[in-house]
A and B are shown apart, each in its own frame.
Chain A
Amino acid sequence: MSTETMLILVGILVGVVSVAIFYVYYLVSTRIETISNVAEEEGYPDRTVFIRDSLYGKPRPLSWSILFYDDAKSIGLRYIFTGLLFMFIGGAFGVLMRISLTDPNPTIISPTIYNILLTQHATIMIYMFAIGMAMGFAYYILPSRLRLKRDNMGHLSSVAYWMWVLGGTLFVLSKSSMRWYMYPPLSLQLTPFGAGAYNWLAVIAMELIFMGMVMASVIVLKIIFIDRADDIPLSQMPVYGWAVVFTLVMLVSSAPPLMVGLGMLFYDFFNPIFFVTSTSTPLAFAILFWFWGHPIVYIAVIPFFGLMYDIITRFTETKVYSYFSAVLSLGLLLILSELVWGHHLLNSGLGVDWVIFFTTASFIVVIPSALTIFNMIATLWTAKKIRLTTPMLFVINAIFDFIIGGIMGVMLADDPINQAVHGTYFVTGHFHFIFVGLTLGVSMAAFYLLFPTFSNGRVYDERLAKWHFYITAVGSFLMSFSWAVGGFLGMPRAVAGYFAYFQPYQDSAILGGVIIGIGQLVFLYNIAKSWSTEPATDPYNILEYRTETNQVMGGGK
């Protein structure tokens, strides 16, 4: 392409984009003006307060206005749909990685691209999908569940959301290949063979994601503790509320060490003093990282435990078997999971005392997880009837997958086994059982439940939803199970090529991965198709409570 044609094309592109931006600006500004006039007539000095108050207590369907309105439900919708969008990007990267592994030598994509996909898949799935869904459901469900007295920190939530999105986008744009562990000195190698030429951007992006997450967490904690309706004491808060509290307390308390660590890592690009061998040790960063890195995997699970309790009790029409034990075990998870992070570094030569403490703590942390699962099973066991709708199927599959993944976790806590399988696909299988089965499954369950609310009364296609469930469940089991078996034989993870000896395990995992991908396409097709039908149901449902109308007086105090 010659320079002239390129200039003409760029000119046309800039023109079209400017016109589009101006049109959106025009729409938004006229809309703002109309709302301001109405607000003034209603006696509100502030337009945004009027919007929040008029949206209060109503189900909120998906619309473009969620990007501009700052009420809790709009923020929740933003998080949920951004999380889903990133789930599809990360999932597509994952499927591409699987496909590239059909050959033991990297012929389909180069190792450089494989490593970029590896890094992006992990980071997107954890920070954008799991956190996005956790935050989104908290923002969306809690206002009606806890019948908020006021909803007045929307601006800050919005800032937190945009920082988080910007962080996620910049992380993808950075083409970083440092893996989500970010261990220096690799992350300081700014070459395509190391961590990627633009890895400094990835570090900034991570810091942005962290700031967004911590801000949003503090606001949600404030919503739960301060803005809750007066007639809902903490002792009667739904288990989901408690789950969110524990998650966010964990997030807020364990993120700061890594935020500081990321700042030091960024400084090391210019003046390497913090994590280099001459003045320190690279293991210092690994310790800072895992102090956060272990809690984050619980953060991706605990809110979904809360949702599982909710969904189970509604579809069995009983109460939680033991509310006290449910809340207690989630609380114990908060405390204990902060004490087990060292088990990620068992083989890095930090001494025998380190191994003894962290393996023992890792056995103890299983106790509250097991109590949670037993509690759910007991709830199901004592129920008079169980309605096997799609969300319920997802939840039952989540329990099943969590048990397998949990048992693999107990095995990993055992030092002799850990020495043989740490860093192999066994670990990948362990957390994919939990992340695909539980995090993805329960998000989908909650999404299906909230679908009538999102779509203003449409009903999803039950048959397609069932297909989505069965395909995802079978694919995830096949993939994670093949990894578990292959990993036990020593198949290393995070590699672009492998010994041909491991071909059968890789091939069955590839099959599983592709099947999961197909399942999510069914989901996309389902929502696109169902949304074009006529509204046929009430947007209120078991996750979206019917609340009384506005409790807030004018002026929005």
Chain B
Amino acid sequence: MNKRQTEYLYAAVVLIVLTAAAIVNLGYVVGHTSNIPQPENNSAVPANSSVIQVLGYQWAWQFTYSNNTTTTDVLYVTAGHEYTLQVQSRDVIHDLLIPSLGVQVYAVPDHPNQVSFEPEKAGKYIFECVEYCGEDHYLMRGYMVVSP
């Protein structure tokens, strides 16, 4: 195998691996559009999902459920039910992350975002703000309680 052939070989390997990865990713994105943060005004809420209004402010998360109750820094959901978070911010840019469910959505002032997710297992999970938002950014965190 000469120099040129080796070069083509490793270029081809790199190309194939990355193309495959890109196609897998594309498939996921196209198939799960409701799980990707989108502006609230140009996407419909999926059927059978409960809307939770999320308000991020310096330095707490406030959740308003469909029955108008409100909790701060605690999110109560039920397993096996789909929820749609409509996330807003009162002051600066925040970013809500629920790591164990892979849900992440920015809270941008005047730019409400929406994302859907379905918790499957009951338990207590953490969530946190992952966009630096000022002094007590680290305290902008809490627990998501999934009841069975």
Quick one: which of B7, B24, B92, B134 contacts A325, CB cutoff 8 A?
B7
Contact B132 A348 (CB under 8 A): no
Question: Using a Cβ cutoff of 8 Å, how many contacts connect chains A and B?
Answer: 196
- List A residues 460-500 near B (Cβ within 8 Å): 489-490, 492-499
A556 CB-CB contact with B under 8 Å: no
> How many angstroms from the CA of A364 to the CA of B17 in the assembled complex?
11
Quick one: which of A181, A352, A371, A422 contacts B14, CB cutoff 8 A?
A371
Contact A490 B15 (CB under 8 A): no
**Least CB distance, B88 to chain A, in whole angstroms:** 11
Set of chain B residues within 8 Å of A348, measured between Cβ atoms:
37, 93, 95, 106, 108, 113
Set of chain B residues within 8 Å of A499, measured between Cβ atoms:
126, 128, 141
Contact A414 B25 (CB under 8 A): yes
Contact A322 B38 (CB under 8 A): no
Quick one: which of B11, B100, B126 contacts A371, CB cutoff 8 A?
B11
> How many angstroms from the CA of A421 to the CA of B99 in the assembled complex?
7
- Which chain B residue lies CB-closest to A181? B132
- List A residues 98-151 near B (Cβ within 8 Å): 106, 111-112, 115, 118
Q: For B37, B103, B113, which residue has the most chain A Cβ atoms within 10 angstroms?
A: B37
Set of chain A residues within 8 Å of B106, measured between Cβ atoms:
345, 347-349
Contact A352 B29 (CB under 8 A): yes
Contact B132 A111 (CB under 8 A): no
B30 CB-CB contact with A under 8 Å: yes
A351 CB-CB contact with B under 8 Å: yes
Quick one: which of B26, B95, B136 contacts A360, CB cutoff 8 A?
B26
Quick one: which of B7, B26, B29, B110 contacts A277, CB cutoff 8 A?
B110
Contact B22 A360 (CB under 8 A): yes
**Least CB distance, A365 to chain B, in whole angstroms:** 9
B139 CB-CB contact with A under 8 Å: yes
Chain A 142-177 against B: per-residue CB contact (8 Å), 1 yes, 0 no?
A: 000000000000000000000000000000000001
Contact A497 B138 (CB under 8 A): yes
B33 CB-CB contact with A under 8 Å: yes
Contact B108 A367 (CB under 8 A): no
Of A56-64, A239-247, A279-287, A297-305, the one contacting chain B is A279-287
Contact A419 B109 (CB under 8 A): no
Chain B 9-49 against A: per-residue CB contact (8 Å), 1 yes, 0 no?
A: 01100110011011011101110110111110010000000
Set of chain A residues within 8 Å of B99, measured between Cβ atoms:
420-421, 424, 489-490
> How many angstroms from the CA of A364 to the CA of B109 in the assembled complex?
33
B91 CB-CB contact with A under 8 Å: yes
- Which chain B residue lies CB-closest to A369? B14
> How many angstroms from the CA of A186 to the CA of B129 in the assembled complex?
14
**Least CB distance, B123 to chain A, in whole angstroms:** 13
**Least CB distance, A182 to chain B, in whole angstroms:** 11
- Which chain A residue lies CB-closest to B10? A374
Quick one: which of B35, B93, B138 contacts A186, CB cutoff 8 A?
B93
> How many angstroms from the CA of A413 to the CA of B26 in the assembled complex?
11
- Which chain A residue lies CB-closest to B37? A349
Set of chain B residues within 8 Å of A321, measured between Cβ atoms:
3, 7
Quick one: which of A106, A112, A415 contacts B28, CB cutoff 8 A?
A415
A512 CB-CB contact with B under 8 Å: no
Contact B21 A283 (CB under 8 A): no
Contact A183 B92 (CB under 8 A): yes
Set of chain B residues within 8 Å of A193, measured between Cβ atoms:
58, 134-136
* Given A185-B91, A363-B22, A422 contacting B134 (CB threshold 8 A): no
Set of chain B residues within 8 Å of A111, measured between Cβ atoms:
135-138
> How many angstroms from the CA of A356 to the CA of B99 in the assembled complex?
22
* Given A349-B39, A490-B126, A286 contacting B33 (CB threshold 8 A): no
* Given A352-B36, A489-B99, A283 contacting B111 (CB threshold 8 A): yes
> How many angstroms from the CA of A419 to the CA of B38 in the assembled complex?
13
- Which chain A residue lies CB-closest to B32? A416
Set of chain B residues within 8 Å of A359, measured between Cβ atoms:
22, 25-26, 29
- List A residues 326-384 near B (Cβ within 8 Å): 345, 347-352, 355-356, 359-360, 363-364, 366-367, 370-371, 374, 378
Contact A414 B30 (CB under 8 A): no
Set of chain A residues within 8 Å of B73, measured between Cβ atoms:
none
Quick one: which of B6, B58, B130 contacts A378, CB cutoff 8 A?
B6
A to B CB contacts below 8 Å, 14 in the list: A106-B138, A321-B7, A322-B3, A348-B108, A349-B106, A360-B22, A363-B18, A371-B10, A378-B10, A418-B104, A419-B36, A424-B97, A493-B130, A495-B137
Give me the 3 closest cross-chain CB pairs, A-B, nearest first.
A490-B99, A423-B130, A349-B113
B positions within 8 Å CB-CB of A: 3, 6-7, 10-11, 14-15, 18-19, 21-22, 24-26, 28-30, 32-33, 35-39, 42, 58, 91-93, 95, 97, 99-100, 102-106, 108-111, 113-114, 126, 128-139, 141
Q: A347-B106, A355-B29, A359-B26 are in contact. List 11 more A-B contacts (CB 8 A).
A: A112-B135, A347-B104, A348-B108, A349-B38, A349-B39, A363-B25, A374-B10, A420-B97, A422-B95, A423-B95, A490-B97
